[in-house]
Structure 1
């Protein structure tokens, strides 16, 4: 499960990225999730539109009698933190090595932990949802629709060398209206191409979970710290 194959986008068909971004990553719970793709989310590289931009509501809560020195110190501290954070680069495809670990599944539903481990020599930061594309044994893209599960908020995460972030993936193995009339679910994937938030290049992990039904639909939650649920 932990082995993976990293490829540059330049060495694969541009169709992979074209199909991925054209398919979009829809929000879970949207009535038109299959047709109303979130183009703005895709253009932002997976960044959450609801990200932490700061608590502007706190800006007028100080007492009029305060001297203002505390506010000035707070502003200096915030500025210093922002500057320090800005020096940490966004995680690239080369920095984050993907792997897939199975999670408890049942009743035709399947779950896996997509783990992205920082294999670079320095810290990097990431936030949001991974882009996904199933590939066959010849690295050709298979129909895939990634739905962004927004049950958990997106937060910016600094990933130190050797540390990981992960996203829970969910899909079904029960054929539905989006699949072939004979009850099959198309080509069995051999790998999963993963695009980190705010990136365009991808790396890939071996896929050992069989077919993905529902027209290749995979739900993904926002990346969080760690390498999966605790045992």
Structure 2
């Protein structure tokens, strides 16, 4: 009872001395031993290093789409019975984007009709995440045969010759338009294609 009376007298004295608010509105901050006495709890040191600044390395905005990619087929050196090329794409967007996996590819004749195309995926190289900065490039390897096989006719062109193609970036549905002037693809249009890699 005596302690309660003393506390009441102390509260009245503090209010009279210009305390800015009622005692009920005041909060208490516990100060750990060895901390500063200004009433602000210290921030404990962190054992984790601070993350590096990313101001100079913009983050990828998402997957590369046909809207930001420009594609072309670059021929390689021919071999006996085989032809090689690269499907090269360039990021024409304003932000980095990513590719991971294989492109779709469909050959077309000059009028836009489909030409037999049998795309076969290879694992050299296999899928890996590729980040393309603006104007960055990636490539996928292509290989096909020019020797008639299977049901291909042995006289004349083995398959109708394509004049253009459409390629679809990995995990997308809208295609890019490409030119194709690399002759017919034998073996019912079989083309081996690798995953994209930095070019």
Give the TM-score, by structure 2 length: 0.69
Q: Could you report, residue by residue, the CA deviation over 1:1-39 in whole angstroms, capped at 9, with x for unpaired residues?
A: xxxxxxxxxxxxxxxxxxxxxxxxxxxxxxxxxxxxxxx
**1:159 corresponds to:** 132
For residues 124 and 141 of structure 2, the distance between their equivalents in structure 1, rounded to whole angstroms, comes to 11
Q: Could you report, residue by residue, the CA deviation over 1:61-114 in whole angstroms, capped at 9, with x for unpaired residues?
A: xxxxxxxx87xx49x97xx9xxx96x6211111111101111111211000111
Quick check: 1:171 aligned with 2:144?
Answer: yes
For residues 157 and 120 of structure 2, the distance between their equivalents in structure 1, rounded to whole angstroms, comes to 22
For residues 158 and 114 of structure 1, the distance between their equivalents in structure 2, rounded to whole angstroms, comes to 17
Q: How many residues align?
A: 149
Higher relative contact order (CA 8 A, sep 6+): 1
**1:222 corresponds to:** 195
Q: Could you report, residue by residue, the CA deviation over 1:150-205 in whole angstroms, capped at 9, with x for unpaired residues?
A: 13221111111111000110001110113135463221100121000011010121
Q: Point out where structure 2 has 5 or more consecutive residues left out of the alignment.
A: 1-45
* Partner SS state of residue 168, structure 1: strand
**1:114 corresponds to:** 87
Q: Pick from 117, 140, 144: which aligns with 2:113?
A: 140
**1:210 corresponds to:** 183
CA contact (8 A) 1:190 1:206 kept: yes
Measured after TM superposition, the shift of residue 126 of structure 1 is 0.9
Q: Going by fraction, where is helix more abundant, 1 or 2?
A: 1
CA contact (8 A) 1:192 1:206 kept: yes
For residues 211 and 175 of structure 1, the distance between their equivalents in structure 2, rounded to whole angstroms, comes to 10
**1:47 corresponds to:** none
For residues 178 and 130 of structure 1, the distance between their equivalents in structure 2, rounded to whole angstroms, comes to 26
Which has the larger Rg?
Answer: 2
1:174-213 alignment to 2 at 5 Å? 174-180=147-153, 182=155, 184-213=157-186
Give the TM-score, by structure 1 length: 0.60
1:7-156 alignment to 2 at 5 Å? 73=48, 88-156=61-129
* Partner SS state of residue 215, structure 1: helix
CA contact (8 A) 1:93 1:202 kept: yes
Superposed CA RMSD: 2.2
